[in-house]
With several copies, the nearest count.
Chain A
């Protein structure tokens, strides 16, 4: 069991979701985040004050998949979420020691 965390651009969410379900992923959890990195922020001006906003809105996907599906899932995300512009985002993969479905108490792959 692995957890894939992918930080991507907002407007890529729909496509990525569809591609992933196509690739056999049954579920995912999405969080609104703000990201800071190489991508340059923008200036905002309010009367006298000027700010540089360098935390940019992104979405973070959390997808738990069986080890064997990780490669696929990651490749799918890269393929669909990439624009080639700085700011496309990152993918982080972590090990999970356990997964449980609350409704049934099932664990492991059955829980997905």
Chain B
């Protein structure tokens, strides 16, 4: 409760006040201001970017892609994760995903986008106040031409903002898999707010902001790493942070003593399928246009997911005698994670190889967990941390000029550009370092300030009743 008073209320008031204020004297951004951001942060240059007018086709694709990525968090991820916990915690997991959709969206509009994509702040390290409260983001119509400003390539910048917002939401939601079934809801909220501000925003800036030091689209980047759709920003960062969470928060009561099987694999399967579908928005949408690059990403993404499904379930079949549906679903997600950084940089046939590797490697990673004995409840690290890292590396290997419009030079190792492997490695290292250190510091602090875990009593009763005063299923 103290927390709520100390935190929730002020936030609300703050928002209302500033929202209002921002609204009141929100100046129509000068077209110049918009021009400054004509090149897209993510991914290689796109022929369309030359033309400044709004393309209805690209806009349509980006609107639906934004919706698809939101759908990934809920119902997608919410179902995928909630099916894996025990019945008494099913709502706990769903609530984490759903509530984050609420709070993080507001944060992104207020300052997140500005910190991540602003170019007026701390150079290649972090954005500034440029876009606070969506200042200079929302569309206006120039008096003279009637053209829309500001644009981001062929789409209104506001769509780029909301599309990136969906990434900002799902990334911390992925971490829920590590501390599931035992974390205090209040601490979870505060942790996520801090993490997304202090870890996600900087990392997104490094990799995707026009002046980010890891942005392959930034000519001046120190280490131009390929991260088409967020392998480092989304998956490595969340996966590594998940590992730290699992280590610091400790095991669930009864872990490794009593069985803790997934309570509803039908949900997990539906969730995985929705993630698969949504991922088309995540990866193909990262072309920021409805073009051939998006088509390449779409195909590569789908084939990697398919190959991952076959690889993981196949590995189980060979090594254990039975392919499981959880294996098939996990393999699909692993494949999707692994292709994320390379979707727009590799040939789709390589996507099959990447997917196969992802399925087998992540399968082994999840098996290893038992040996190390940490309790990454839903394998957020095993799938996103390991898969994301593998993907970043394999992207360096398989990247090819063939799929990049206008690219003349060799891209990946297989084309002889071994230098790219260094960039990829640096990108991975940076994401791991920032994620691990940031999470470590935040959790240590919060543990001291408000405690990470619910009481033993509450944990035994389940998060649904103890944290939210509800039951998931009442079938009587």
Q: Does B460 contact A (CB under 8 A)?
A: yes
| Known contacts A11-B460, A42-B461, A42-B465, A48 near B370 by CB under 8 Å | yes
Cβ contacts under 8 Å, B257 to chain A: 14
Instruction: Please tell me if the beta carbons of A45 and B324 are within 8 angstroms of each other in the complex.
Output: yes
Q: Which chain A residue shows the least CB distance to B260? A: A49
Instruction: Please tell me if the beta carbons of A45 and B322 are within 8 angstroms of each other in the complex.
Output: yes
Instruction: Please tell me if the beta carbons of B330 and A14 are within 8 angstroms of each other in the complex.
Output: no
Q: Which chain B residue shows the least CB distance to A55? A: B476
Cβ contacts under 8 Å, A11 to chain B: 254, 258, 460
Q: In the complex, which residues 361-405 of chain B have their Cβ closer than 8 Å to any Cβ of chain A? A: 366-370, 379, 382
Tell me how far the C-beta of A33 lies from the nearest C-beta in chain B, rounded to whole angstroms: 11
Q: In the complex, which residues 29-69 of chain A have their Cβ closer than 8 Å to any Cβ of chain B? A: 32, 34, 42-49, 51, 53
Cβ contacts under 8 Å, B330 to chain A: 47
Cβ contacts under 8 Å, A42 to chain B: 461, 465, 469
Tell me how far the C-beta of B440 lies from the nearest C-beta in chain A, rounded to whole angstroms: 24
A14 to B261, CA, bound (A): 14
Q: Does B262 contact A (CB under 8 A)?
A: yes
Cβ contacts under 8 Å, A45 to chain B: 316, 320, 322, 324, 469-470
A10 to B86, CA, bound (A): 13
Cβ 8 A contact of A44, one of B369, B379, B465: B465
Q: In the complex, which residues 447-476 of chain B have their Cβ closer than 8 Å to any Cβ of chain A? A: 460-461, 465, 469-471, 476
Size class of the contact patch on chain B = 20 to 34
| Known contacts A11-B254, A32-B476, A47 near B261 by CB under 8 Å | no
Q: How many residues of A contact B (CB 8 A)?
A: 15
A34 to B475, CA, bound (A): 13
Q: Which chain B residue shows the least CB distance to A10? A: B476
Cβ contacts under 8 Å, A49 to chain B: 259-261, 370
Instruction: Please tell me if the beta carbons of A46 and B326 are within 8 angstroms of each other in the complex.
Output: yes
Q: Does B153 contact A (CB under 8 A)?
A: no
Q: Which chain B residue shows the least CB distance to A12? A: B258
Cβ contacts under 8 Å, B368 to chain A: 48
Q: In the complex, which residues 329-344 of chain B have their Cβ closer than 8 Å to any Cβ of chain A? A: 330
Q: Which chain B residue shows the least CB distance to A45? A: B469
Cβ 8 A contact of A48, one of B259, B262, B367, B465: B367
Q: Does B327 contact A (CB under 8 A)?
A: yes
A42 to B460, CA, bound (A): 14
Instruction: Please tell me if the beta carbons of B366 and A47 are within 8 angstroms of each other in the complex.
Output: yes
A47 to B327, CA, bound (A): 7
Q: Which chain A residue shows the least CB distance to B322? A: A45
Instruction: Please tell me if the beta carbons of A46 and B370 are within 8 angstroms of each other in the complex.
Output: no
Q: Which chain A residue shows the least CB distance to B376? A: A48
Would you give 24 A-B contacts (Cβ < 8 Å), ordered by A?
Answer: A10-B476, A11-B254, A11-B258, A11-B460, A34-B476, A42-B465, A42-B469, A43-B469, A44-B261, A44-B469, A44-B470, A44-B471, A45-B316, A45-B322, A45-B470, A46-B262, A46-B324, A46-B326, A47-B326, A47-B327, A47-B366, A47-B379, A48-B366, A49-B260
Ranked nearest first, the 8 interchain pairs of A and B with the lowest CB-CB distance are: A51-B259, A47-B366, A14-B258, A48-B367, A48-B366, A48-B370, A45-B469, A48-B369
